[in-house]
Structure 1
Amino acid sequence: MAILKLANIKKNFINGEVKEEILKGINLSLRKGEVTALRGASGSGKSTLLTIAAGLQPATSGKIIFEEQNIANMSSEQVRKIRASKFGFIFQFSHLIPFLTAEEQLMLMLEVSKSKLTKQQKKMEVNRLLNLVEMEHRKYAYPPSLSGGEKQRIAIARAIIHNPKVLFADEPTASLDSKRSRDIMKIIREITKTLNITTLLVTHDEDMLLFADQVIEMSDGQIIQSEDKQLNNDVVDLSV
């Protein structure tokens, strides 16, 4: 079932007297419980497409249908509320607060989101998420003592703490070595399946495409190939 649809998305920039076409009519559907990967050379438009789909910047024209509503027609405040409550974000760097422990990072997010959980319930939820990303044993650790992969695991837990419908990941493994990259992609895929959410990620790493259900190849602001892989654990050994 498609939860997010992009219809004829175009993005133009004016550079002096020249109009630059960054996206040239993109059509894309994202389904629940699936990881969709955007690949392509630098300048192909994949990161621009992700930020438009996430409501971080407007399209020049086109529709962004999320839960049967066109968020392209919404006010900036309406889009901000959707981002805050329905979307989660993972970036290349974790951007953790250096003086807060892993547990405190997540507790702070619950406070910011004005969660109605009791203090004990918040602690239980934080423990659940840390366990989900295999970091419960490091909950009292501060970011300077964590590896790059461990920091990204905390960032993933932070991104899903408000139970988002869609998870956006922009080069989430770019700063990691190959083993840690596979570990992070394994977690992202497992979370996508377990929580039945939708994940859209941008990656340059060919190995990371093994964890995607759908691979979209972009070039010069257009989709030039779409591969619907429909992977399962029998196809890719996620335990490696």
Structure 2
Amino acid sequence: MTTFTIQDVQKTFTNGEVSEQVLKGIHLGLQQGEITALVGASGSGKSTLLTIAAGLQHASGGQIIFEGQDMTGMTQEEIRKIRASQFGFIFQSSHLVPFLTVEDQLMLMLDVSETHMSKREQKEEVMKILKWVGMDHRKDAYPASLSGGEKQRVAIGRAIIHQPKMLFADEPTASLDSTRSRDVMTLIRNLTKEFNITTLLVTHDEEMLSYADRIVTMKDGLIVQSGK
């Protein structure tokens, strides 16, 4: 089922009198329970497309439709609420809060997403997700004591703790070695299937493409190929 649709999305950046069109009319539908990987050379527009789809920046034209709602016509507050409650984010850096424990990282996300759980329910949900990502044994640890792979596992747990419908992952394995990269992508794939999430992934690592259900290749602001 298509839950997320990108229709004729364009993006132009202007610097003084110079304008550059980095997206030139993108059409893409994302399926529930699948990982769609965006690939292409640096400057192809893949990360720009992901951030526009995630509501982190505006498109210059076109529509972003999430569950039948046109996000391009929403206010900033309406988009913020969707991001907080329905979207999850994983980036190249884990962006963990240095003074919070692993458990508290996820507890904070539940507060931000306004899930309206009691503290007891929050703790139960946090432990459930930490077990899923293999970090329940480090629940009291701080980020400084975690390895790069462990930090990304916590970041993934934080991204899905509020049960989002969409997961956006921008180069989630770029800072990891090959073994930890495979572990992280296996985890992302398993969570996508188990929780029936729609996942949009940007990666430059060809080894990670085997985890995707569909590969979309971009070049010069256009989609030039789409398929497995």
Counterpart amino acid of residue 132 in structure 1:
W
- Cα deviation 1:72-99 (Å, max 9, x = unaligned): 1111111111111111101111111122
Identity rate, percent: 65
Distance 2:111 2:13 in 1: 38
1:164 aligns with 2:164: yes
Counterparts of 1:205-220 in structure 2, within 5 Å, are 205-220=205-220
Q: Give the equivalent residue in structure 2 for 1:196.
A: 196
Matches of 1:157 and 1:97, distance apart in 2: 14
For 1:15 and 1:114, locate their aligned partners in 2 and report how far apart those are by CA, in whole Å.
38
SS in 1 for 2:6: strand
TM superposition shift of 1:111: 2.6
2:92 alignment partner in structure 1: 92
Deviates more, 1:111-120 or 1:141-150: 111-120
Alignment of 1:72-111 (within 5 A): 72-111=72-111
Distance in 2 (alpha carbons) for counterparts of 1:89 and 1:156: 8
Secondary structure of 1:22's counterpart equals strand
Match of 1:131 in 2: 131
Q: Is the 8 A contact 2:84 2:112 kept in 1?
A: no
1:39 aligns with 2:27: no
Give unmatched runs, 5+ long, in structure 1.
Answer: 230-240
CA distance in 2, matches of 1:71, 1:110: 23
Q: CA deviation at 1:18?
A: 3.0
- 1:60 maps to 60
**Once the 2 structures are TM-superposed, how far is the Cα of residue 113 of structure 1 from its aligned partner?**
3.0
> Match of 2:177?
177
The residue that corresponds to 2:29 in the other structure is 29
- Say how many residue pairs are matched: 228
- TM-score scaled by length of structure 1: 0.92
SS where residue 120 of structure 2 aligns? helix
| Cα distance in 1, alignment partners of residues 209 and 97 from structure 2 | 30
Find the residue that maps to 1:174 and give its secondary structure. Answer: coil
137-146 or 10-19, which deviates more: 10-19
Amino acid at match of 2:170: D
Go from structure 1 to structure 2 and tell me whether the alpha carbon gap of 1:53 and 1:114 turns closer, same or farther (over 3 Å shift).
closer
AA partner of residue 188 (structure 2): I
Does the 8 Å CA contact 2:85/2:114 hold for their aligned counterparts?
no
Q: Does the alignment pair 1:143 with 2:153?
A: no
Q: Distance in 1 between matches of 2:55 and 2:117?
A: 28
SS across alignment from 1:81: helix
Displacement of 1:107 after TM fit?
A: 1.5
Cα distance in 2 between the residues matched to 1:3 and 1:114:
22
Q: Partners in 1 of 2:40 and 2:147 — Cα distance?
A: 28
CA distance in 2, matches of 1:133, 1:55: 26
Match of 2:118 in 1: 118
1:114 Cα deviation (Å)?
A: 3.5
Q: Which moved more, 1:182-191 or 1:110-119?
A: 110-119
Which whole-Å CA distance do the structure 1 matches of 2:2 and 2:193 have between them?
15
Deviation track 1:49-93 (CA, whole Å, cap 9, x = no partner) reads 000101111111001111111111111111111111111101111
1-side partners of 2:18 and 2:161: how far apart? 43
Q: Which runs of 4+ in 1 moved over 4 A?
A: none
**CA deviation string 1:80-138 (max 9, x = no partner):** 11111111101111111122211111122223333322222111101000011111111
Find the aligned partners of 1:111 and 1:40 in 2 and give their Cα distance. 36
Amino acid at match of 2:91: F
Once residues 37 and 44 of structure 2 are traced to their aligned partners in structure 1, the CA distance between those partners, rounded to angstroms, is 14
